[in-house]
Amino acid sequence: MYLRYLPYYLIIALAGAVLFLPFLGSVHLFDWDEINFAESSREMILSGDYFRVQINYQPFWEKPPLFFWLQAASMHLFGFNEFAARFPNAIIGIITLLAIFKIGTKEFDLKFGLFWVMFYAGSFLPHFYFKSGIIDPLFNLCIFLGIYFLSLVASEDYQKGGKRRVEILLAGIFIGLGVLTKGPVAMLIAILVSLSFMAVRRKPGVFKFTEIAMFFFTAGLVAFLWFGLEIIKNGFWFIEEFIDYQIRLFKTQDAGHGGPFYYHFVVLLLGCFPASLFVYKSFGKVYTDTYRQKDLKLWITISLLVVLILFSIVKTKIVHYSSFCYFPITFLAAYALYKIDTRKLRLKKYFNISFGVIGITVSLALILLPLFYKFKDKLPLDKLFPDRFARANMDAVVHWSGFESLAGAFYLIAVIVALVLLSKDQVTRAAILICCSTMIVIELSMALVVPKVEKYSQAAAIEFFESLQGKDVYVEVVGYKSYAQYFYSQRKPGYNNGNPVDLNVLLTGKLDKPAYFITKVGREGDLEKAPGVEKIGGKNGFLFYRRLP
């Protein structure tokens, strides 16, 4: 860390805390991933088993434990709640901003580092993910740092001795931590990016054999902290299930999460606004870059393409699968703005058109969404929502004042002013304005809009689960998949005597305590037919049932 930049590090850390920490607990955790991960962390604490990941106190082989360890530590501090589940990512967000500032200033200069931080914190999805309780922010940071240190070794082959060894060790450590976070795809991405760089540069020998061995040994040693010990302790079955799950994600649309090949291209274009619009300009030739800067840009560009292509091929399509791309997208946006600011590049007129179309569309969505809910009773909901459950969600009683649309109105004004600045070739001012406005709008939306929207989607179900906390009863969902019944009913170890739940037994067999069920409108057939099951209520598309011993 350069001492002359110390004030900037402090300001960035403080700004990150201000941006990422507020409103973490203002809304329930969302099914599936947020609740799934938080529940696994909660069960670690209650079971006392921090080595094996569980869900419903049964082995959960979909994810390694690193992120759950962080969440469990947070829950030890703050309790079993939404803030604790999301707190680790807020801290990871601050670390991420500091890391990219460090890299940006080292590889370019202070201005570049600040531009990179601005685009990362000032684009929608990159910012929003640090307010979530999902694994990907940690996973992406580990992979990016691993690739960055690999790029240092590949670009600094003229160096001798200690520094190269430190960098290859750091690359191995971070990729190993990525494997411990979400699995071997971290290693796959690092290998594909490295091979692609060597192919493009036509330099197959940038890594020495000893360095390659050191990288894999270090990454393997870090991963062994869990994978290896798991095999020693419990055999191969858990690892086999984990690998089978990864293959299934690649080959099939898991849990209905499918989409076209271009799915992630669209997600990143819209979700990473405004940074995504600057990316295309970063590919123009700039002859003032140093050899190292050209190398770094190539590494980062390749990482973007590798991840985009890889997860476009994967059959399962989920928004956060391409979230690693936030790093290269914001880097390339910062690069483009940096060159534009120093008059090395100029924007074309069609940039202003694209900026206006996307910016105004986002603004109108933010304006119209609260107005839609406020005046929904005057709309033909039966035509807008053919699905009975979705239509029943609209029965939720939520007060909308109309002032919630001010966030969108504010953003619309910011977009219009930015367009004026762009027309006057004041690109840097326009970028600063729209990034800062995006940060403000995200905070306003988290405070004013998201908690109210959540009441339509899942709040009724979560309230039902919370009403059963502390009661010696069975609580299960029927006809759909959820993890909310585990976390929000605060399920304890020994549920069903530690055995997997057989829903048919709860519906038709002998009970030793009351069983409560929840389903969605239109999916209640099995419950209506089950003997002794009585309907006890319903709310906003969810139906509640009970069966007594």
107 and 20 within one domain: yes
Q: Distance between CA atoms of 31 and 41, rounded to whole angstroms?
A: 15
Last residue of a domain, one of 315, 341, 367: 341
H-assigned helices in 132-208: 136-155, 162-182, 185-201
| 3-state SS class at 450 | helix
Q: In terms of domains, do 412 and 464 share one?
A: no
Q: Are residues 50 and 181 in the same domain?
A: yes
Q: Are 133 and 86 in contact (CB under 8 A)?
A: yes
Q: Is 220 exposed, middle or buried (0-12, 13-18, 19+ CB in 10 A)?
A: middle
Task: List the alpha helices (DSSP H) in 400-449.
Answer: 406-423, 427-448
Token duo for residue 31: 């099914």
What is this structure's pTM?
Answer: 0.94
Residue 201: C-alpha distances to residues 209, 266, 307, 369, 390 (Å) = 18, 30, 19, 49, 53
333 plus 403 within the same structural domain: no
Query: Running DSSP on this structure, what letter comes out for residue 519?
Result: E
Same domain flag for 499 and 432 = no
Per-residue pLDDT of the chain (549 residues; tens, 9 = 90+): 457 899 999 999 999 999 999 999 989 999 889 999 999 999 999 999 998 899 999 888 888 999 999 999 999 999 999 999 999 999 999 999 999 999 999 999 999 999 999 999 999 999 999 999 999 999 999 999 999 999 999 986 545 555 788 999 999 999 999 999 998 899 999 999 999 999 998 888 889 999 999 999 999 999 998 888 878 877 777 777 777 776 766 666 655 566 788 888 999 999 999 999 999 888 877 778 898 999 999 999 999 999 999 988 877 778 888 999 999 999 999 999 999 998 888 888 889 999 999 999 999 999 999 999 999 888 888 888 888 998 999 989 999 998 999 999 999 999 999 999 999 999 999 999 999 999 999 999 999 999 999 999 999 999 999 999 999 999 999 999 999 999 999 999 988 877 888 888 899 889 989 999 999 998 988 888 888 899 999 999 999 999 998
Number of domains in the chain: 3
pLDDT at 164: 85
Other CB atoms within a 10 A radius of the CB of residue 292 amount to 14
Last residue of a domain, one of 299, 321, 341: 341
Looking at this protein, which amino acid is placed at residue 177?
L
- Identify which of 43, 69, 45 has the alpha carbon closest to the alpha carbon of residue 55: 43
**What does the alpha-carbon distance between residue 172 and residue 142 come to, in Å, rounded to a whole number?**
10
If asked whether residues 517 and 411 sit together in one domain, one would say: no
Question: Is there a single domain that holds both residue 205 and residue 333?
Answer: yes
490: left (phi over 0), alpha (psi -120 to 50) or beta: left
Residues 438 and 477 in one domain: no
What confidence score (pLDDT) does residue 256 get? 54
**The last residue of a domain, from among 429, 456, 483:** 456
Q: Give one word for 60, left, alpha or beta, with left for phi > 0 and alpha for psi -120 to 50.
A: beta
Per-residue tokens: 388: 């009975």
pLDDT at 229: 83
Q: What does the longest C-alpha to C-alpha distance in the chain come to? A: 79
Distance from C-alpha of 131 to C-alpha of 123, rounded to nearest angstrom: 13
Q: Please tell me the distance from the alpha carbon of residue 49 to that of residue 493, in angstroms, as a whole number.
A: 11
Query: In this predicted structure, what is the pLDDT of residue 259?
Result: 72
Residue 359 sits in which domain range?
349-456
Buried b / exposed e over 205-218, threshold 16 CB at 10 Å, is: ebbeeebeebbeeb
Q: Are strands 474-477 and 515-520 parallel, antiparallel or unpaired?
A: parallel
Q: Which two tokens stand for residue 543?
A: 């139906």
Tell me the residue ranges of DSSP E strands in 174-328: none
Same domain? 335 vs 390: no
Structure tokens at 97: 């901003």
Shared domain for 366 and 315, answered yes or no, is no
Same domain, 363 and 337: no
Q: Are strands 474-477 and 58-59 parallel, antiparallel or unpaired?
A: unpaired
Phi and psi at 356, nearest 5°, equal: -65, -45
Q: How far apart are CA 10 and CA 395, in angstroms?
A: 47
Structure tokens at 333: 């946006």
| 383/514 same-domain check | no
Q: How much is the pLDDT for 158?
A: 46
* C-alpha 305, offset from chain centre: 19
- Residues facing residue 545 across a β-bridge: 517, 535
Dihedral sign for Cα atoms in the order 538, 543, 546, 547: positive
